[in-house]
Amino acid sequence: MRQLNKIQNLIFLVGATLMVVGAGASVLAWKFAPYVFAVGALAFTSMQLLQRYEGTNFVIRRLRRMMILSDFLFLLSALLMFASMGNVFGLSQIDYITYIYNKWVLTLLIAAILQLYSIHRIDRELAKETNSSSKKL
C-alpha cells in the first residue's frame, strides 16, 4: 500500500478524531456536531482514498473496495446527520421519522464495522505478502 506523507497522515488522524468528536457531540445534541463530523469524514475519506494498492493480490484488492465502500458510508452518515437536524426534504412527519431521522447511526455502524474488518485483514494480507517475498530471496 502506498504510504501517506506526514502532512497527509496528520490530516487523516485529525479527520478520524473529528469524526469521533462529531458523533459524540451529536449524542449530546450539540448543534455543531454534524459540521464537525462532516469535516472529519471528508478529511478521513480523502486521505484514505489517496492510499493505493498497486499489487496484484486479489484479496487485498477486494478488501480495499470494502474500505472504499465504508468511506462512502461515512460520507452518507454525515449527510444523514444534517438531514436529522430538521425535515429539509419536505416529507411528512411519519415518513421523515421512518426513513431519515437518526438513520446516520446505522450507516455509521456499518461503515465502522467494514472499516475495522478491512483494515485488520489488509494488515494480515500485507504481512503474508511480505513474508512470502522475503522467503523467496
Set of cell numbers at residue 10: 496528520
Output the pTM of the full model: 0.88
Listed residue (87, 71, 80, 85) closest to 15, CA to CA: 71
CA–CA gap between residue 38 and residue 40 (Å, rounded)? 5
- Write down how long the chain is: 137
CA–CA gap between residue 28 and residue 30 (Å, rounded)? 6
Q: Which pLDDT score, from 0 to 100, does residue 137 have?
A: 64
Question: Consecutive 10-residue runs of the chain (137 residues): their mean pLDDT?
Answer: 89 97 92 96 96 89 95 96 82 83 93 96 90 75
Instruction: Give the count of beta carbons closer than 10 Å to the beta carbon of residue 78.
Output: 26
Neighbouring residues of 55: CB distance < 8 A, sequence distance ≥ 6:
129
